């Protein structure tokens, strides 16, 4: 097994292409995750695959690595047509994949994890000394600093990732796929990872790198392939691309929504955010110095490539994440000091971006899901006792009003389609008579018909005088619905444009981190 | 399409059947007839009214401990310390029983009240660390069992020992007894308390605002947090209540059956209760059935060694097989939930 290690002579193949995917299509039910994608990766390059969440990046790589079988299309590895039936076949062909979620044994040492399943043996016993020496050698050669004798359970995520990469190397990979490798890393660790990736190509290996972070892609890759909604947009040399071109390819120009007509009815200020800062889960600043207001009867949009602080902003406003600095006033109450329940009491309704985790309990019925947040309020509850009959009747009425396609209020939510689950969330949140609606990615993963219905409902809420903050990665959605659009990049609000003047070039520049010529509002 | 509830139910039935089948094979291997063993078990558990009463007597503590476990499971908390809470509750009730002299009825209530407080206080330590520092409650409650068992032994042997040979406290006063139901058995009102508790807890979870919030904390914690439920506080409260019921189980065992606290007075009821609750998928009402099942196994096994060549330890083996196959079945059912798998892995 050890003879397959990188650098040692393996199958000689002089084909220029390490990987060629032709017309790959993959469907999950009615949903098309990959739609006729062609991808050619040259030997010895760092090839980035970039796209928004749900663009089909991971699906494509899982097909390449044999974890999924394509419905259509073919795969050539090193110039030879290959049927990648399972990961074992992919590994045999010289592929290696580092997943987003690591699969290590915490109680074993680093070296034992690296060689798990292919232990070096001596007299029938595991030769720990040889495993440690080999791990040490590889880690030095590629700058993957680890102590081979340390136990994995004691190590940080960044080091766990290095171990995963070592595992792939030891199994003889010449083409290494990394799925969002930087998502769990600090900036310092990311820079070290990029060094390692460069040392791979310096040895003639090939790297495929999945990401949705522009900066990294611009920094480390030789070639970029952009995916959007399951389709390939383009493959281009990185040096020929600018950041805002890349952004525009990622988010797209296809306009599927017309701008909604509206009456001016701006009222009093409902939400006032002042110098708001917050940290992400890695304790790094993710929201920086945000200040803005939202008035009654106004839809304010937040544009930006996913992961630029929008999630943190939404979570701080909903009380689900502490602010590290600054204030957010909802009708005179400072949200940063309140619990989620108190913020709801103060007048927040929230359509969360992560619908299946935050927005519903998939195992519960529609009726039980419509109760969340008002289980202590009359008429659903009297003296702490629930009136399930009233709750069920109300859920039935909501199903009618929001056109939720379900058999009834006692249907389990996870049996519904994505669009109908989102309608359950909207039905609950929009009928709470809250003054401020925080709406995060309302139409992600929702079919076109349901998208229109959801937009109708948002406009109805605007007409009813609600203050609405709409976070979306879809520019056309923002252009259709909003009165003003704030653009976020790297945790900051880069600038503001009017909703009826949503110039995509200007927004794209700001999304890529280029400051607008005009003063930001 | 099968409903989730039906699928869970049929899964449990299959798991128990597989365990019984494996038990039958083991019985054959030790040279006994499974049919004969089963008939003896049934006769031992339900053969006449005294045997039925004996089965119900064993069922009572398992049922109450099972309800304690259900309360924890509903709120997403694994209280594996019920055994320890039962021991402390049992001791606390005995102490009230032999130390004070109060009117009948009031004496019983006072003893049960202190048992409840003792159980809750004992679980409060792991519950606090869980809420404050997110320590794993499974580990800390398991460990608290050992301390509880040894602590009550110490109290019994060194501080409150009855003069004479046995490691037990003085007997409690008759005013603190739980009344017996029949003249021929020690079966007592504890059974009714257990049944009421099971139904009451089920109703509370289903029909109160608080129960709704706790259920959501157990099944979808992020959703509950988003909806304004204080996840940490409810986790703490749920563990406390679970411990309180565990303590109550010990008090009932002391006041209804033994009328004193003895070292090692209730071996394994806490764990059997937890298994009964898991087998019942965390439903207190279904726990009535599963507790009866385990109670019958325990009580039927008494006749095994008399009438068959199988050892009564075979019952322990069958119980272990049930635990294994039920856990396997739950894992298989959640195979698609990779996140759950990962949580288990990290654990």
Q: What is the pLDDT of residues A259-284, one digit of tens each?
A: 898 888 778 999 999 999 999 887 88
Query: What structural domains and CATH numbers belong to chain A?
Result: 2-8+16-241 (3.40.50.300), 253-347+434-521 (3.40.50.300), 365-415+423-432 (no CATH)
Kindly report, residue by residue over B81-129, the tens digit of the pLDDT: 999 999 999 999 999 999 999 999 999 999 999 999 999 999 999 999 9
Q: Are A178 and A210 in contact (CB under 8 A)?
A: yes
- pLDDT surpassing 70 at residue A456: yes
Establish if A355 touches chain B: CB-CB under 8 angstroms: no
- pLDDT surpassing 70 at residue B344: no
Q: Are B259 and B275 in contact (CB under 8 A)?
A: no
Question: Which residues of chain A make contact with B346, given a CB cutoff of 8 A?
Answer: 106
Compare CB distances from B209 to A339, A340, A376 and report the shortest one's residue. Answer: A376
β-strands A269-279, A285-295 pairing: antiparallel
Assess if residue B84 is contained within a domain. yes
Average the pLDDT over each of A4-18, B31-45, B131-145 and give the range with the smallest value: A4-18
Q: Which of residues 95-124 of A touch B (CB under 8 A)?
A: 101, 106
Assess if residue B315 is contained within a domain. no
Assess if residue B299 is contained within a domain. no
Assess if residue B173 is contained within a domain. yes
Cross-chain Cβ contact B223/A357 below 8 Å? yes
Residue A14: its pLDDT value, please? 56
Cross-chain Cβ contact B223/A359 below 8 Å? yes
Compare CB distances from B208 to A340, A373, A384 and report the shortest one's residue. Answer: A384
Test mutation, A156, A352, A364, chain B, max B CBs within 10 A: A364
Kindly report, residue by residue over B166-197, the tens digit of the pLDDT: 788 999 999 999 999 998 999 999 999 999 99
Cross-chain Cβ contact B4/A340 below 8 Å? no
Residue B306: its pLDDT value, please? 84
Kindly report, residue by residue over A88-105, the tens digit of the pLDDT: 999 999 999 998 778 889
- pLDDT surpassing 80 at residue B334: no
Q: What is the pTM of this model?
A: 0.80
How much of chain A, in percent, has pLDDT values that exceed 70? 95
Cross-chain Cβ contact A385/B208 below 8 Å? yes
- Which of helix, strand or coil describes residue A327? strand
- pLDDT surpassing 60 at residue B346: no
Residue A254: its pLDDT value, please? 61
Compare CB distances from A372 to B207, B211, B227 and report the shortest one's residue. Answer: B227
Assess if residue B314 is contained within a domain. no
Whole-complex ipTM: 0.85
Residue A10: its pLDDT value, please? 43
- Please give, rounded to a whole number of angstroms, the shortest distance from the CA of A92 to a CA of chain B: 26
Residue A505 exposed, middle or buried by CB count within 10 Å (0-12, 13-18, 19+)? exposed
Domain count, chain B: 1
Average pLDDT, chain A: 89
pLDDT tier for residue A253 given thresholds of 50, 70 and 90: low
Residue B345: its pLDDT value, please? 33
> Which chain B residues have any C-beta within 8 angstroms of a chain A C-beta?
4, 206-213, 216, 219-220, 222-230, 338, 342, 346
pLDDT tier for residue B4 given thresholds of 50, 70 and 90: low
Q: Which residue of B has its CA nearest to A411?
A: B3
Kindly report, residue by residue over A146-155, the tens digit of the pLDDT: 999 999 988 8
Residue A446: its pLDDT value, please? 76
- Please give, rounded to a whole number of angstroms, the shortest distance from the CA of A429 to a CA of chain B: 10
Cross-chain Cβ contact B227/A106 below 8 Å? no
Residue A521: its pLDDT value, please? 43
Assess if residue B22 is contained within a domain. no
Task: Give the structural domain span for B101.
Answer: 61-275
pLDDT tier for residue B239 given thresholds of 50, 70 and 90: very high
Kindly report, residue by residue over A117-167, the tens digit of the pLDDT: 889 999 889 999 999 999 999 999 998 999 999 999 888 888 999 999 999
HEC string of chain B equals CCCHHHHHHHHHHHHHHHHHHHHHHHHHHCCCCHHHHHHHHHHHHHCCHHHHHHHHHHHHHHHHHHHHHHHHHHCCCCCCCHHHHHHHHHHHHHHHHHHCCCCCCHHHHHHHHHHHHHHHHHHHHHHHHHHHHCCCHHHHHHHHHHHHHHHHHHHHHHHCCCCCCCCECCCCCHHHCCCECCCCCCCECHHHHHHHHHHHHHHHHHHEHHHHHHHHHHHCHHHHHHCCCCHHHHHHHHHHHHHHHHHHHHHHHHHHHHCCCECCCCCCHHHHHHHHHHHCCCCHHHHHHHHHHHHHHHHHHHHHHHHCCCCCHHHHHHHHHHHHHHHHHHHHHCCCCHHHHHHHHHC
Assess if residue B317 is contained within a domain. no
Assess if residue B151 is contained within a domain. yes
Kindly report, residue by residue over A462-494, the tens digit of the pLDDT: 999 999 999 998 888 999 999 999 999 999 999
Kindly report, residue by residue over A23-63, the tens digit of the pLDDT: 999 987 777 889 999 999 999 999 999 987 778 888 899 99
Residue A11: its pLDDT value, please? 45
- pLDDT surpassing 90 at residue A342: yes
Establish if A372 touches chain B: CB-CB under 8 angstroms: yes
Question: Which residues of chain B make contact with A368, given a CB cutoff of 8 A?
Answer: 212
Phi, psi of A336 (to 5 degrees): -65, -15
């Amino acid at each position: 097994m050890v003879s397959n290690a990188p650098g040692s002579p393996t199958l000689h193949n002089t084909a220029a292409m390490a990987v060629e995917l032709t017309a790959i299509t993959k469907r999950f039910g009615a949903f098309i995750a990959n739609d006729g994608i062609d991808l050619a990766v040259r030997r010895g390059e760092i090839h980035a695959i970039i796209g928004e969440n749900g663009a089909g990046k991971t699906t494509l790589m899982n097909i390449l690595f044999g974890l999924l079988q394509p419905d259509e299309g073919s795969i050539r590895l090193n110039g030879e047509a290959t049927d990648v039936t399972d990961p074992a076949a992919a590994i045999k062909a010289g592929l290696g994949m580092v997943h987003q979620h690591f699969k290590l044994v915490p109680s074993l040492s680093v070296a034992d994890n690296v060689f798990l399943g292919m232990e070096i043996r001596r007299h029938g016993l595991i030769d720990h000394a040889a495993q440690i020496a080999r791990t040490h050698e590889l880690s030095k050669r590629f700058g993957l600093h680890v102590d081979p004798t340390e136990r994995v359970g004691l190590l940080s995520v960044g080091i766990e990732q290095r171990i995963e990469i070592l595992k792939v190397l030891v199994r003889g990979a010449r083409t290494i796929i990394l799925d969002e490798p930087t998502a769990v890393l600090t900036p310092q660790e990311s820079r070290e990872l990029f060094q390692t990736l460069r040392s791979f190509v310096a040895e003639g290996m090939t790297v495929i790198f999945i990401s949705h972070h522009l900066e990294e892609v611009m920094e480390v890759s030789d070639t970029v392939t952009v995916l959007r909604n399951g389709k390939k947009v383009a493959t281009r040399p990185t040096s020929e691309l600018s950041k805002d071109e890349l952004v525009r390819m990622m988010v797209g120009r296809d306009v599927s929504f017309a701008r909604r007509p509206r009456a001016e009815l701006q009222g009093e200020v409902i939400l006032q955010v002042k110098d708001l800062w917050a940290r992400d889960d890695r304790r790094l600043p993710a929201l920086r110095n945000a200040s803005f207001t939202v008035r009654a009867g106004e839809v304010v949009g937040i544009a930006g490539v996913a992961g630029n602080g929008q999630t943190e902003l939404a979570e701080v406003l909903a009380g689900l994440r502490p602010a590290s600095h600054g204030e957010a006033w909802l009708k005179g109450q400072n949200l940063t000091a309140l619990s989620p329940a108190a913020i709801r009491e103060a007048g927040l309704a929230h359509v969360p971006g992560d619908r299946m985790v935050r927005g519903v309990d998939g195992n519960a019925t529609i009726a039980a899901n419509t109760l969340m947040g008002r289980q202590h309020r009359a008429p659903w509850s009297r003296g702490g006792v629930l009136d399930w009959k009233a709750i069920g009747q109300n859920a039935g009425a909501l199903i009618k009003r929001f056109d939720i396609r379900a058999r009834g209020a006692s249907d389990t939510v996870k049996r519904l389609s994505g669009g109908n689950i989102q309608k359950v969330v909207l039905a609950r949140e929009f009928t709470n008579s809250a003054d401020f609606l925080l709406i995060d990615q309302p139409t992600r993963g929702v079919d076109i018909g349901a998208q229109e219905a959801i937009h109708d409902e948002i406009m109805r809420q605007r007409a009813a005088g609600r203050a609405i903050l709409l976070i979306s990665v879809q520019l056309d959605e923002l252009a259709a619905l909003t009165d003003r659009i704030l653009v976020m990049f790297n945790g900051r609000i880069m600038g503001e444009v009017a909703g009826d003047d949503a110039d995509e070039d200007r927004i794209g520049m700001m999304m890529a981190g280029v400051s607008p010529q005009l003063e930001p509002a | 399409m099968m409903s989730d509830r039906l699928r869970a139910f049929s899964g449990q039935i299959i798991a128990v059947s597989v365990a019984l089948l494996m038990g039958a094979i083991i019985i054959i291997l030790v040279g006994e007839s499974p049919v004969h063993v089963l008939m003896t078990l049934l006769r031992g558990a339900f053969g006449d009214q005294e045997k039925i009463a004996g089965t119900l007597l064993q069922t009572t503590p398992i049922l109450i401990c099972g309800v304690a476990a259900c309360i924890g499971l509903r709120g997403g908390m694994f209280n594996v310390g019920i055994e320890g809470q039962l021991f402390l509750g049992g001791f606390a009730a005995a102490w009230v029983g032999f130390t004070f002299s109060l009117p009948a009825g009031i004496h019983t209530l006072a003893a049960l009240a202190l048992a409840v407080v003792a159980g809750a206080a004992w679980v409060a330590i792991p519950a606090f660390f869980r809420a404050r520092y997110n320590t794993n409650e499974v580990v800390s409650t398991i460990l608290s069992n050992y301390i509880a068992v040894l602590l009550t032994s110490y109290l019994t042997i060194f501080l409150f020992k009855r003069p004479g040979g046995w490691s037990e406290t003085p007997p409690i006063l008759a005013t603190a007894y739980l009344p017996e139901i029949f003249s021929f058995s020690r079966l007592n009102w504890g059974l009714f308390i257990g049944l009421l508790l099971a139904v009451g807890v089920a109703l509370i979870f289903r029909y109160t605002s608080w129960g709704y919030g706790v259920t959501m904390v157990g099944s979808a914690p992020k959703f509950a947090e988003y909806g304004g439920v204080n996840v940490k506080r409810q986790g703490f409260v749920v563990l406390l209540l679970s411990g309180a019921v565990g303590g109550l189980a010990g008090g009932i065992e002391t006041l209804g059956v033994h009328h004193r606290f003895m070292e090692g007075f209730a071996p394994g009821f806490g764990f059997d209760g937890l298994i009964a609750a898991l087998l019942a998928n965390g439903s207190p009402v279904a726990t009535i059935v599963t507790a009866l099942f385990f109670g019958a196994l325990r009580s039927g096994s008494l006749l095994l060694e008399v009438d068959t060549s199988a050892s009564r330890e075979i019952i322990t083996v069958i119980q272990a097989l049930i635990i294994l196959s039920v856990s396997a079945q739950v894992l298989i059912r959640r195979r698609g939930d990779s996140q759950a798998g990962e949580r288990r892995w990290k654990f």
